Structure formats: structure tokens, C-alpha cells
Structure 1
Amino acid sequence: MCTYLKNMEGYKLNDLKLKDFDYIQEMFDRAFKRQKVEDDKETAEIKKLMEIIPDEEEVTIDAIPLVVKSLSIVDWKIHKEGRKSYYQIIRADGKSQMYMIFSHMLKSFDREDLETLYKLVKAKYKSTKPVEDLDLVLWNDLKTMFEPHEKDVVWRNQKDYKVLS
């Protein structure tokens, strides 16, 4: 009813106080008919835009994702350039990204990426131990994250810290 009162030619409640009921009813009916005609036109336009497809038919929808997740990690290597060493992370599409520091890798990875990398590193060093320094660092960092143990230095040091706030 509020919608129809708004459409009553801009009258305010004070303007309607002095009018008799029949006159107000007539104004309301005109506004109601006008609103109904506008609603019917809008409904007709929407029906033109819609196409009903029976359940038996297969429907293919081309959807464009709003956020594109980078492809899963499939491999990793230690890449060396002179004295510098980098973690080279290779994704399923063949693209790779290089990181010098593990913490930089953490900033651009989500949990799924870290779990995948951990599984790959764990599979590689299942029966052997890492020999290269960067391999050892990566293995230890991931192991500490996914297999916390009381005797690990990181967790042992946590007991010595006091939380201030």
C-alpha cells in the first residue's frame, strides 16, 4: 500500500486530510492501476528475455569464473644462478615461479599449495635425507609446519616466549 501512496501524484498526508473518502479512494485506484500497468509491462519484458528449457534437454552453460585459482603445484627444484639459489615451483600449466626465501613463498601460497608442496617434498625424501642446504631448509620448514614435535627447536622456543597482548 505504501508504494501506491507514493504514486498518488505527490500528495502528502496533510493534503489528504481535508479530502473525503470517495475522492481519496478514486486517487488510490488510479495510482494502483498505473502501478499495475507498469508491473505488467515489466513482467512481459522479463518473460521475453527468459526462455524455458524442458528438463529432458542437456544445457551447457559457459561460465566465466570471477576468481581464477592458479593451477596446482606439480614439481619443485632448486635453481642456482652463480652463488644464489632459488626455490623453483612448477605448476600444472608449465609455468614456474622462483623464490629466494621460504617466507616469500608463504605470502603467495594458500594452504592447498603448501600441502601439495609438502607431499611432493615428503615423497622425494621418503627414504633419503636432503643433501643440499636449500633442500634441507625447505624440508625442515615444511616438516615443522605439518608435523609439529615438542623436541623441534621452533616449538621448544615457543615455551620461552611470554604473550604481552
Structure 2
Amino acid sequence: MIAKRKRFFTAQRAAEQMSKPLTKTQIRNKIYTYLKNMGGYKHNQLKGKSYEEIQKLFDKTYKQVNSFVPMASDDMEKGSEKKAGGSRKKTLAKKRAGEKQSEKSSKRQKIEDDAEKEELKAYLDIIPRDDVAVSVESLATKYPIVDWKTRVLSEDKMYYEIIKANRSTKSYKIFTEMLNDFDRQDVLDLYRLVKERFETASLEGYDRLLWGDLITVFEPSKDDEVWKAQQDYTLISWRLFDSCGIHVLLMDTGIAIHMLVEKTYPLTQEMLSRMLSGKLEVDNKSEMTFELLRFTRSQIEK
């Protein structure tokens, strides 16, 4: 099984080098930036949300920003100036002073954030995928995953068929390959479907391999062999799929460990150090990239 999986990963990594940056990720990053700058949202409030939820927040914020109309008319302003007199001037002076102080604080915070990001870039390896066009579903036409099937053509030719609500299908050799296309909701939908089937039937062979990947992501246990044997693994690569918020450790044995970016897993201090020294592979820099690097470094410093 390990030899088969190693061949799958070799093919998958070759395919990754041939594919373009995900337009879906670029869309999400632009919306994130707008919501943070114009809507005051924090990264923790946005991560893990589906494209539909993000789009609704964007539409609401955009409408609020562009429909703002000052309440005071010219006549009201003139009357207010006469009544308020010097009091208004004092208020304006205080307001300007507060704005200047706030501006100084914002600039200082930005300098500190930029300095930290420059430091974190030392743990980053940007590997753009720019050879093959990627078809991305628009927010308005995205269909959820409703079923999955395992196809076994021969001993060396097996794949998963993912079926969506509009009955469209796409095939993947391994779970890691799916992460190029999936967002967080897709991963959650697949986890729910596989878990429901596992509760009513015994999963075997290739099905059990998929269940093992998903249970490592959502139900990690320090007693699982994948965590207990990690000191025997040699880390080949550490990669982030920010469209779904999952990062993956690929080992020399062919084992892949998939993890949610915001969740703590039973990784040893040695493995965490290997991850940072080996660098995080990404298609492009995003806020999620730096959040993951901060989180990983904080676990080492505990």
C-alpha cells in the first residue's frame, strides 16, 4: 500500500508543477483584503467560511460603503456653526488630534506587521503553478458535493470520482490532489459523506485510505500510528492549499499528513522545527500563509 501511495504522490507532485495558480484563491484573497480594509473584519472572522458566505459579507459591506450619504445639509451646517461657535472648533481640534494619534498608531502597527512578515518570509518557498489553466466555478454557480465513488480499474489504476449537485463529476487519484480544487465547504461535505457511509458499512481498500486521510484532519488522536511514528519519517515537503485552509506534510515513506491551518495537532517539536527549516510551499503569499507560519512558530516557542 505504501509503495502504491508513493507512486500516486510522485504523479501528483509532477501534476502540481504543471498547473496554474488558482483563480479561486486570488478571488478569495481580494475579497478578504476588501472586507478587512473597508469592513473592519479580522482574519479569524473570515477563515473557514464558504464562498457564498464571503460573497454575502462582501455585498453587504460594498453596499454600506457606497451608499453612505452625509446627514448634514449646507443650511444645517451654517446654523450649527453659528450655535456651536468656539465649542465646535474645540471639538474639531480634539477630533483632529485623535485622528493624528490613531494614524500614528496605525503606521506603527503596519511597520511592525511588515517587519514580522519579512522575518516570516525566511520560512516561505513560493512555487507558482503557471502551465495549465484551471477552471474555477463562479460564486453564483458553485455546486456542493453530493456523492463519491471509488473506481478500481486495475491494481495500479484506482481513483475517486467526486459527484456534485449538478451531476458533474471529476476524478482524483488521491485526497491531496482534490485540495487543488476544493474549498473548505467541499472538504466538509466529503468528510460528512464518507463518515455517513462508514457508519453503515465497512470501508475497505482504497475507501479506507480516504477515510484515514479525513479522520486525520478532523479527528486526530495522539494514539494514531501516523503521529506515534512521525519521528521515523523524513519530511520531503510542507505545502499549503489556502483555497480550503489545509496544509500537508509529505514524508519519504509516501505518507501524507493533512491538517487544518487553525487546528493544533500532536506534532513533535522536532517535526515542527523541520517544517520551518524546510520552508512552506505556497502558490502565492496570502494572509493565511503568514497566519500559519505564526501559528507554527508559536507552537515551537511554547
TM-score bucket (shorter structure): 0.5 to 0.7
- State the Cα distance separating 1:109 from its structure 2 match: 0.8
- State the Cα distance separating 1:69 from its structure 2 match: 5.1
Corresponding position: 1:129 with 2:202: yes
- How do 1:32-43 residues align onto structure 2 when only pairs under 5 Å count? none
Return the match for 1:154 from 179, 202, 226: 226
CA displacement 1:44-92 (0-9 Å, x = unmatched): xxxxxxxxxxxxxxxxxxxxxx644520000000012334111000000
SS of corresponding position for 2:151:
strand
Whole-Å separation in 2 of the counterparts to 1:143 and 1:69: 29
Whole-Å separation in 1 of the counterparts to 2:201 and 2:163: 22
Give % identity: 37
Whole-Å separation in 2 of the counterparts to 1:76 and 1:162: 34
- How do 1:85-104 residues align onto structure 2 when only pairs under 5 Å count? 85-104=158-177
Higher relative contact order (CA 8 A, sep 6+): 2
Aligned equivalent of 1:27: none
Aligned equivalent of 1:12: none
Shift of the 152–69 alpha-carbon distance from structure 1 to 2, 3 Å rule, reads: farther
Aligned equivalent of 1:114: 187
Whole-Å separation in 2 of the counterparts to 1:80 and 1:127: 22
Q: Which has the higher helix share?
A: 2
Aligned equivalent of 1:72: 144
Whole-Å separation in 2 of the counterparts to 1:128 and 1:110: 27
Whole-Å separation in 2 of the counterparts to 1:141 and 1:78: 15
CA displacement 1:24-56 (0-9 Å, x = unmatched): xxxxxxxxxxxxxxxxxxxxxxxxxxxxxxxxx
- State the Cα distance separating 1:152 from its structure 2 match: 1.4
Instruction: Return the letter of the residue paired with 1:135.
Output: D
SS of corresponding position for 1:161:
helix
Aligned equivalent of 1:144: 216
TM-score of the superposed pair, with normalisation by structure 2: 0.31
**Runs of 4+ in structure 1 displaced over 4 angstroms?**
none
Bigger radius of gyration: 1
Whole-Å separation in 1 of the counterparts to 2:223 and 2:193: 24
Gaps in structure 2 of 5+ consecutive residues: 1-137, 231-266, 277-302
SS of corresponding position for 1:126:
helix
Shift of the 140–69 alpha-carbon distance from structure 1 to 2, 3 Å rule, reads: farther
Whole-Å separation in 1 of the counterparts to 2:192 and 2:208: 15
Whole-Å separation in 2 of the counterparts to 1:153 and 1:107: 27
Shift of the 67–119 alpha-carbon distance from structure 1 to 2, 3 Å rule, reads: closer
Instruction: Return the letter of the residue paired with 1:79.
Output: R
Instruction: Return the letter of the residue paired with 2:184.
Output: R
SS of corresponding position for 1:117:
helix
- How do 1:50-69 residues align onto structure 2 when only pairs under 5 Å count? 67-68=139-140
CA displacement 1:113-149 (0-9 Å, x = unmatched): 0111010000001143312x21010011101111011
